[in-house]
C-alpha cells in the first residue's frame, strides 16, 4: 500500500517537472528532495516536529518554507513538500524520493544494472560491458559494480528483472543441464 501511495506522489512530481516549460529540471528536483531529506536526518528535533500529529500543518509548512529558503530549494519542490505535509505523508519521503528517481530513469530511458565480476574491472572493460548492455536493452545504463569471489571468471549483470550470466559458473551450470538432459 505504501509503495502505491509513494508512487502516486512521485508520479505527480514527475509530471510537473517533465511538463513542457517546467520551471525545474527533474535532476534538480531530485537533488533538492535529497537535501531536504539530509536536513531531516541531521536534525532529530526537526524530524520530530514534522512527524508529530500535535504540530499543526501550518507550523510545519512555515518550517518547510523557512528551511527551503535557507537550502535554496525551488518553489516547486517547496510546494510539493507542503502538499506531502498536508496529507501526512512526510514519513514516506524516502520512498517517494526513490520512486521519483525511478520515474526519472524510466522517462529518460535509463536503467540500473548491478554487475558482478570475479575481479575488479578496468574502466575499458566497464565501458564495453555497459555498451553491450545498452545495445541489448535499448536503454542507457547506470551501473553499479561489485566483486563476487564466488565467480570463477566472467560477469553477471542484473538489469531490472533480467539476468545476464556470462560467468564461468553459469556456463558450467548450462553445460551440466545439457549433459543431464541429453
pLDDT band with cut points at 50, 70 and 90 for residue 30: very high
My answer on whether 58 and 23 are in the same domain is yes
My answer on whether 78 and 114 are in the same domain is no
pLDDT of residue 168: 80
Provide the 3-class DSSP secondary structure of residue 175: helix
My answer on whether 58 and 46 are in the same domain is yes
Structure confidence by residue, pLDDT tens digits, 124-156:
999 999 999 999 888 899 899 999 988 888 889
Last residue of a domain, one of 39, 73, 106: 106
Residues 6+ apart with CB under 8 A from 38: none
My answer on whether 25 and 76 are in the same domain is yes
- Contacts from 90-95 at CB under 8 Å and sequence distance 24+? 90/50, 90/51, 90/60, 91/51, 92/2, 92/5, 92/6, 92/9, 93/33, 93/36, 93/37, 93/40, 94/37, 95/2, 95/3, 95/6
My answer on whether 73 and 98 are in the same domain is yes
The C-alpha atoms of residue 133 and residue 115 are separated, in whole angstroms, by: 10
My answer on whether 6 and 62 are in the same domain is yes
Please give the model's pTM, rounded to 2 decimal places: 0.75
Amino acid at each position: 500500500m505504501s509503495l502505491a501511495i509513494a508512487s502516486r506522489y512521485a508520479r505527480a512530481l514527475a509530471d510537473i517537472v517533465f511538463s513542457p516549460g517546467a520551471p525545474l529540471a527533474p535532476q534538480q528536483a531530485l537533488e533538492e528532495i535529497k537535501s531536504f531529506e539530509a536536513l531531516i536526518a541531521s536534525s532529530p528535533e526537526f524530524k520530530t516536529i514534522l512527524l508529530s500529529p500535535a504540530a499543526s500543518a501550518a507550523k510545519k509548512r512555515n518550517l518547510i518554507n523557512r528551511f527551503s529558503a535557507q537550502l535554496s530549494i525551488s518553489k516547486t519542490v517547496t510546494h510539493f513538500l507542503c502538499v506531502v505535509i498536508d496529507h501526512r505523508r512526510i514519513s514516506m519521503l524516502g520512498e517517494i524520493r526513490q520512486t521519483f528517481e525511478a520515474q526519472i530513469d524510466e522517462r529518460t530511458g535509463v536503467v540500473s544494472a548491478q554487475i558482478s565480476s570475479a575481479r575488479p574491472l578496468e574502466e575499458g572493460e566497464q565501458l564495453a560491458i555497459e555498451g553491450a548492455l545498452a545495445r541489448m536493452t535499448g536503454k542507457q545504463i547506470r551501473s553499479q559494480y561489485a566483486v563476487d569471489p564466488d565467480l570463477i571468471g566472467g560477469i553477471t549483470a542484473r538489469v531490472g528483472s533480467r539476468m545476464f550470466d556470462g560467468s564461468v559458473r553459469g556456463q558450467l551450470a548450462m553445460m551440466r543441464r545439457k549433459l543431464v538432459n541429453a
